[in-house]
Amino acid sequence: MATAKAHTNIALVKYWGKKDQELIIPQTDSLSLTLNEFYTTTTVNFDSHLTSDLVAIDQHILSKKEAQKVVHVLDIVRQLSGIKSFARVDSINHVPTAAGLASSASAFAALAGAASTAAGLNLSSRDLSRLARRGSGSATRSIYGGLVEWQKGTDDASSFAQPVLENVDFPIEMLAVLVDTKKKKVSSRSGMQSSVETSPYYDAWRQVVANDMVAIKKAIKAKDIDQIGHIAEENALRMHALTFSTDPGFTYFNGETLTIIKAVEDLRNQGVNCYYTMDAGPNVKVIYNRGNRSKIVEKLSNIVGSERLVVSQPGPGIKIWNE
């Protein structure tokens, strides 16, 4: 039995498209910031008395279908370790409010850490990130803290994450603006797949990411938060341009997403530098220098209410306890 705690991450240069869907090898590199405030704690226990895998998230037992991706990762761990038993998986997501912020990154990183350790495997961080990748692409990066890149590689062995700057020593901060959503969203899996297959802009996206990876690493070296934010914002808009340009086109934005984008632009026009990024849902994350926090929080809480704002610092890498 083992327990792992992994933090979620938000991509500044996004992963949006697979080359290999079974192994989850991405079309491009990507780069993210691991966040302190959002994490998943998962315990895995291989138990010879069980007759099937039992998976609970936030104390709710998943159906066979819901547990499919978790069981897939457990199957890989059984294959690697030679263990035959089924496992009991208990996962708790620590997200400050009920409004959904993507947790698959922290969830599959924590699962990879707990399951591999419970099975007696002593994986390196690199191999852990390769295992997390098999559950969800973004989880590849949640093995490490701070600023992390996922090198796309060409196969299972060469596609893994590595730290760019684990201990972030400049005052970058991220504010999550939790936007209400009642509608069922398009999964990132199907959204990115239709982008690869049908967007006429997909080739251009590969080039955008290649350029942004070089530029953002330069900006990180220079500790230039404005440049990092600017690159992240452009990159996010270009990722979302792929969703608009698929056949049929779609968007993750809703009206509130656009309202918050406008508020960030207004702040910037008033001399308060901040930048936005969005993932496969309507929530907006704002990137800024800590010194600007109070002005940004003041403006956005007037729009959505302070209970829907969560300030987060850069967070740490995975921690694993062998029990």
- 31 is an interface residue for ligand PMV by CB under 6 A: no
CA distance 175 to 275: 10
Alpha helices in the chain (DSSP H): 68-81, 104-118, 125-133, 188-198, 202-221, 225-244, 255-269, 293-304
- How far is residue 248's CA from residue 225's CA, in Å, rounded to a whole number? 36
In the chain, the N- to C-terminal Cα span, in Å, equals 5
DSSP classification of residue 201:
T
Annotate 4-53 with DSSP letters as a single string.
EEEEEEEEEE----EEETTTTEESS-EEEEEEEEEEEEEEEEEETT-SS-
Is there a cis peptide before residue 248, judged by omega within 30 degrees of 0?
yes
Q: Does 103 bind ligand PMV (CB under 6 A)?
A: no
Contact between 137 and ligand PMV per CB under 6 A: yes
Closest CB to ligand PMV among residues 30, 42: 30
Closest to ligand PMV by CB, 154 vs 190, is 190
Separation of alpha carbons 145 and 264, rounded Å: 27
- Closer to ligand PMV at the Cβ: 178 or 280? 280
Note whether 280 binds ligand PMV by CB under 6 A. Answer: yes
Question: Can you tell me which of 136, 199, 235, 312 binds ligand PMV, judged by CB under 6 A?
Answer: 136
Q: Under the criterion CB under 6 A, does residue 101 sit at the interface with ligand PMV?
A: no
Sequence-distant (6+) residues with CB within 8 A of 47 are: 85, 86, 87, 88
Binding region for ligand PMV (CB under 6 A) out of 38-46, 80-88, 130-138, 255-263: 130-138
**Residue pair 26/152 in contact by the 8 Å Cβ criterion:** yes
Q: How many residues bind ligand PMV (CB under 6 A)?
A: 13
Does the footprint of ligand PMV cover residue 113 (CB under 6 A)? no
Nearer to ligand PMV, 14 or 230 (CB): 14
- CB-wise, 118 or 146, nearer to ligand PMV? 146
Beta bridge partners of 311: 175
Q: Taking a C-beta distance cutoff of 8 angstroms, is the pair 166, 144 a contact? A: yes
Q: How far is the CB of 104 from ligand PMV (least distance, A)?
A: 4
What does the per-residue mask of binding to ligand PMV show for 175-214, with x meaning CB under 6 A?
Answer: -------------xx-------------------------
| Least distance (Å) between residue 301 CB and ligand PMV | 25
Considering only the stretches 70-78, 131-139, 213-221, 260-268, report the one whose residues sit in contact with ligand PMV under the rule CB under 6 A. Answer: 131-139
**Interface residues toward ligand PMV, by CB under 6 A:** 11, 14-15, 30, 104-105, 136-138, 188-189, 279-280
